[in-house]
Chains A and B, each alone.
Chain A
Amino acid sequence: MMRRVVELEKSVNEPSHLELFKGTDLYRTLIVCGVYLAQNLTGNLIANQAVYFFEREFSSSLF
């Protein structure tokens, strides 16, 4: 697979950014962008702050 990709990169002409927005490749671009966006929009910046929520609840008593 890796060898094939390297050979393919040598043989084909230079890809341009415009091709990302044409035909099937437009769908591919949208899927990749959407999956990347979902990583942010699923609220991980908040959910990863669980320690902060615990900290707020037990300011000094329990631990």
Chain B
Amino acid sequence: MTTNTAFALGLITSALQMIFVMLSWILTTYLGRRTIYLWGSGFNTLLLVALGVAASVPVTKGTAAATAASLAQASLGLIISVLFTLGPAPASWVIIGETSAIRLRPLTTGMGRASYYIIEIPCIFLGSYMLNPTVGLFSLRVLR
């Protein structure tokens, strides 16, 4: 894949995410935020487990099975990131905005954002280790 194709695929992912956020506006007229958030998160968890299974099956490099497992990981990654923008992502912003008491809203939201950044630091480290093919905590599993 050339750099241009990779860049285009990244843009396509973002475009799909934008379209699915717009579809979520339609979805909110039919379902409540609680329903969307819980079912969306549950379904995404299921797909993430499927991605993990696809990354964990032992296959020998270069075979058709290895290609299939790799493609499954790639497609599931795309589907998960797009489906996340349809359900849980917009619903989570609604929950964040509406849960706190009006008087304490800035403080509560600030506290939530702070906890988000605190947990993001280890997540970034783990993510880099998972994706790096040479230095690998999980390299044998996630990357072959």
Contact = CB atoms under 8 A, between A and B. Distances in A.
Contact of A25 (B77, B101, B120, B123): B101
Contact of A49 (B75, B77, B99, B133): B77
Size range of the interface on B?
35 or more
Interface of B: 1-2, 5-6, 9-10, 13, 41, 44-45, 48, 51, 67, 70-71, 73-75, 77-78, 80-81, 84, 88-89, 92, 95-96, 99-104, 107-109, 111-113, 115-116, 119-120, 123-124, 127, 130-131, 133, 143
22 contacts: A9-B103, A15-B104, A15-B107, A19-B107, A20-B107, A31-B95, A31-B99, A32-B95, A35-B95, A35-B96, A36-B115, A42-B44, A46-B127, A47-B51, A48-B13, A49-B127, A51-B6, A54-B6, A54-B74, A55-B6, A57-B70, A63-B1
